[in-house]
Amino acid sequence: MESNKSFIGYIEQSIARNWDRNALTDYNGATLQYKDVARKIVKFHIVLERAGIKPGDKIAVCGRNSAHWAVTFLATITYGAVIVPILHEFKADNIHNIVNHSEAKLLFVGDQAWENLNEDHMPNLLGIVLLPDFTPVVARDERLTDAFEHRNAIYGQRYPKNFRPEHVRYRREKSPEELAIINYTSGTTGYSKGVMLPYRSIRSNVDYCREMRPIYPGDRIVSMLPLGHVFGMVYDFLYGVCQGAHLYFLTRMPSPKIIAQSFAEIRPRIISCVPLIVEKIIKKNILPRVDNTIGKLLLHVPIVNDKFKASARKAAMEIFGGEFEDIIIGGAPFNADVERFLKQIGFPYTIAYGMTECGPIICSSRWQDLKLASCGKAASRMEVRIDSPDPANRAGEIICRGENLMLGYYKNPEATAQSIDVNGWLHTGDLATMDAEGNVTVRGRSKNMLLTASGQNIYPEEIESRLNNLPYVSESLIVLQKDKLVALIYPDFDEAFARGLQQSDVEDAMEQNRIELNQQLPAYCQITKVKIHFEEFEKTAKKSIKRFLYQEAKG
């Protein structure tokens, strides 16, 4: 990282330059301009200073996306403290553990998350503050109580003629290697590790966003990915703030209905999204509108009619607001048939592959340059290799290194040594191939790979991607039971019942799907049985199914 570049400098300059622009809006709620954000940061710093918080101390934040979540993050890092974002979807015991493990001094928490927590299980906190109005609900140090009571008076004394752009001067990071964020992984196993991201990683990722998809002051961004997860934190929030964009927080789960309603109103210029949301919208809202008679069959047939392509593209663009230049899709594998459909109609999207340990980006390409079903090429400032004797034809583990890479796992040198080798390569645990042009195609997680008694390696994600496009399938998991492949399926009961099917008809349809799917698969990876689930599979924040919960399912 160039010595004259500072990530805190990016924040400082953007706030001063965009003083009178809108910055943060809670959808259907209040809007903060950049000058309002700056003044809240100053008052926040007064509280931290008076409460005895030092640069390098940890401050945790846990709640739904909101303007005050964003203010908490910005105020923490511009003070020199380390921010610990915690996904509000985590169970209470996991939140307690993260707060304790990270040695956080303060916890800023949303009112919904706070209802399930117990302050007695977090004995080392100086205080707990509610995000909606920055009210302290637990104060174990009178300095904290005093700080909140007198922050406005102290602010008035320090800035008698009001706080102005020239007063925006923050403590900048002393080194690119200085710790900025401890982000606990959601993961698809039950254990959270604290990923230590330095300022180098954040700045490198924001610079990459600028290179890939420039945005400008006043551009609108909808932040619907959880800010507690590094994808939404960097791609939506930190990049947006550094560019002077106007961020909207949906403050609720982004269902297709809420997206259609809010995006038509906000008309964002850039959108970050997980594949599941795009896939649901394409299957539920776009395909029936374009041609209700063949619906999902459109995912399997080449589209040659230009008029049809234009109609499908217009419908898809409209549902996301109509004015965006790109949808960045990442966080989980993208359904190959849905992607093929989008590429055929000329829908603008970017595939991004990464992980928390790289804050997050590893590979990415836009749709015009993207090899179908791949996640593109290595991001700038990152080296990517496949640990295989024949990377083009034989899958191996993705390994990478570069500016985006974490410092390691907090207070866990053993896990760090297992992930980062002596030459600085991060071993991702993902299996992939890479062609001669450098396009990386992820085959699946190494821990998900199924090994049959005959020695065949099976990547369940590839089978699931096909199965999910068959009639009345909402989502699926392929598991190995007694050396037989079994499909666990959560059907789309709403669609099935709307078309007059009974439960027994749904079961027959799933069996027909099994037969049809097996005709497309080699003998060694054919499905022997279908088991229907009546509830959605439990997922992580980035909407990946928690496979470990279902691996031992008995047939």
Whole domain around residue 68: which residue ranges?
7-240
Q: What is the pLDDT of residue 60?
A: 98
Final residue belonging to a domain, choices 425, 445, 465: 445
Query: Across-strand partners of 426?
Result: 400, 420
Cβ contact 316:347 at 8 Å: yes
Residues 320, 348, single domain; the answer is yes
Per residue in 306-327, pLDDT tens?
888 898 899 999 999 999 999 9
Rounded-to-integer distance, Cα 515 and Cα 270, Å? 41
Q: Residue 252: inside a domain, yes or no?
A: no
Point out the domain boundary residue: 445, 465, 481. 445
The verdict on residue 59 lying in a domain is yes
Question: Is residue 295's pLDDT more than 80?
Answer: no
Q: What is the CATH number of the domain that holds 515?
A: 3.30.300.30
Q: Residue 200 falls within a domain, yes or no?
A: yes
CB-CB contact of 64 with 110 (8 Å): yes
Give the pLDDT confidence score for residue 328 in this predicted structure.
Answer: 95
Q: Which residues contact 519 (CB under 8 A, 6 or more apart)?
A: none
Angle at 194 between CA 191 and CA 200, to 5 degrees: 145
Whether 1 has a pLDDT exceeding 50, the answer reads no
Beta strands in 267-315 (DSSP E): 270-273
Full strand arrangement of the beta sheet holding 104-109: 135-139, 127-130, 104-109, 58-62, 82-86, 179-184, 194-198, 408-409
**Alpha helix locations (H) across 380-429?**
413-419
Host H or E run for residue 108: strand 104-109
Ranges of beta strands (E only) in 224-312 are 246-249, 270-273
Decide which of 514 and 287 is more confident.
514
Report residue 189: phi and psi, to 5°: -115, 165
Task: Say yes or no: 79 and 104 in one domain.
Answer: yes
Q: Sheet containing 426-434: which strands, arranged edge to edge? A: 382-387, 396-402, 426-434, 440-445
Q: Please indicate, yes or no, whether residues 473 and 352 belong to a single structural domain of this protein.
A: no
Would you say residue 534 has pLDDT above 90? yes
Same domain for 44 and 133, yes or no, is yes
- In this structure, is residue 86 part of a structural domain? yes
> Would you say residue 469 lies in a domain?
yes
In a domain, residue 258? The reply is no
21 phi and psi angles, rounded to 5 deg? -85, 155
**Token pair recorded at residue 466:** 């096909």
> Last residue of a domain, which of 424, 445, 466?
445
Identify whether residues 86 and 203 lie together within a single domain.
yes
The answer to whether 489 touches 531, Cβ cutoff 8 Å, is: yes
| Chain Cα centroid distance, residue 271 | 12
Do 362 and 487 have their domain in common? Answer: no
Whether residue 329 contacts residue 376, with contact meaning beta carbons closer than 8 Å, is answered with no
Omega of the bond prior to 360 within 30 degrees of 0, cis? Answer: yes
Is the pLDDT score of 200 beyond 90? yes
Looking at the structure, tell me whether residues 221 and 368 fall in a common domain. Answer: no
CA distance readout (Å), 518 to 470, 509, 510, 512: 12, 14, 12, 10
DSSP 4: T
Q: Quick one: 49 and 76 in the same domain? A: yes
Would you state the structure tokens that stand for residue 28, as one six-digit string? 């259907």
Range of lowest pLDDT (180-184, 193-197, 285-289, 426-430): 285-289
Beta bridge partners of 61: 85, 108
4: confidence class by pLDDT, cuts 50, 70, 90? low
**Which structure tokens are listed for 520?**
């497309």
Return the bridge partners of 397, or none.
387, 431
Asked if 474 and 438 sit in the same domain, the reply is no
CB–CB of 263/320 below 8 Å?
yes
Give the contacts of 159 (CB within 8 A, at least 6 positions apart).
Answer: 42, 167
149 C-beta neighbours (distance < 10 Å), count: 11
Mean pLDDT across the stretch 484-504?
A: 94
Q: Which contiguous run of DSSP H or E holds residue 368?
A: none
Instruction: Note the pLDDT of residue 287.
Output: 82
Q: Which of 56, 126, 116 is nearest to 86 (CA)?
A: 116
Q: How far apart are the C-alpha atoms of 363 and 379, rounded to whole Å?
A: 5
Task: Determine the Cα–Cα distance for residues 269 and 222; give it in Å rounded to an integer.
Answer: 9
Q: pTM to 2 decimals?
A: 0.86
Furthest-apart CA atoms within the chain: distance in Å: 78
**H-only helix segments in 302-402:** 306-319, 336-345
- Judge whether residue 377 has pLDDT over 90: yes
Looking at the structure, do residues 82 and 208 belong to the same domain, yes or no?
yes
CATH number at residue 102: 3.40.50.12780
Confidence of residue 539 (pLDDT cuts 50, 70, 90): confident
Token pair listed for 93: 């015991």
Judge if 456 and 439 occupy the same domain: no
Contacts of 443 (CB under 8 A, 6+ apart): 395, 431, 432, 433, 459, 461, 462
Mean pLDDT of the chain: 92
Mean pLDDT of 23-52: 97
424 and 459 both lie in a single domain: no
Domain count within the chain: 3
- Percentage of the chain modeled with pLDDT above 70: 95
In a domain, 429, yes or no: yes
Question: What pLDDT sits at residue 294?
Answer: 61
Residue 247 lies in a domain: no
Structure tokens at 107: 């916890």
Residue 3 is predicted with a pLDDT of: 39
Phi, psi of 510 (to 5 degrees): -65, -35
pLDDT tens track for 411-438: 999 999 999 999 999 999 999 999 999 9
